[in-house]
Amino acid sequence: MEDQGREQATPEVQDRIRASFERQGLMAHLGARLSHIGSGQVHIVLPARPEVTQQHGYFHAGATSAIADSAGGYAAFTLFPENTSVLTVEYKVNLLAPAEGEHLEAVGKVLRSGRTLTVCQLEVFGVQGTQRSLVAAGQQTLICIEARAEQ
């Protein structure tokens, strides 16, 4: 399912996104991984496991929101110039249905990229086999800043 029919970002952009993603402690802690890096669009997959669920066995809203935030942030970052970085200014996520399945897939897509601020659409799908169900949707604003030393 990964990358089927989706345009890839340049190898240089993909390397920059992967290198930054690998430095994110939260994504590693959750067990999330990049599944697609396109120009203005990034997908992140979060496998189901007990550590990312809430008391009813659904994916926790915090885990759902975290992968949505990162997918949008990296979607914006694919369009930013070299020697810059990205920070979230704000985001809102509506939880539309209990998040369940083999994994979640967050899709961040740039709606508008400006000189300073970029706006992204966020969607999270619960995936079970070949079935995908929209479980969360939102919008995000990000800011392009000068690159700073990353940990």
Within a domain: residue 4?
no
Residue ranges making up the domain that contains 110: 11-146
Angle between helices 61-77 and 11-22 (to 10 degrees): 140
Tens digits of per-residue pLDDT, 15-33? 999 999 999 999 999 999 9
CATH number (domain holding residue 80): 3.10.129.10
Q: Is this structure's pTM higher than 0.75?
A: yes
> What local confidence, expressed as pLDDT, does residue 7 receive?
86
* CA atoms of 91 and 69, how far apart (whole Å): 7
Do the Cβ atoms of 140 and 72 come closer than 8 Å? Answer: yes
Given a cut of 60, is residue 1 above it in pLDDT? no
> What local confidence, expressed as pLDDT, does residue 147 receive?
86
> What local confidence, expressed as pLDDT, does residue 150 receive?
61
Tens digits of per-residue pLDDT, 91-148? 999 999 999 999 999 999 999 999 899 999 999 999 999 999 999 999 999 999 998 7
> What local confidence, expressed as pLDDT, does residue 151 receive?
53
Within a domain: residue 138?
yes
Within a domain: residue 5?
no
Q: Structural domain tally of the chain?
A: 1
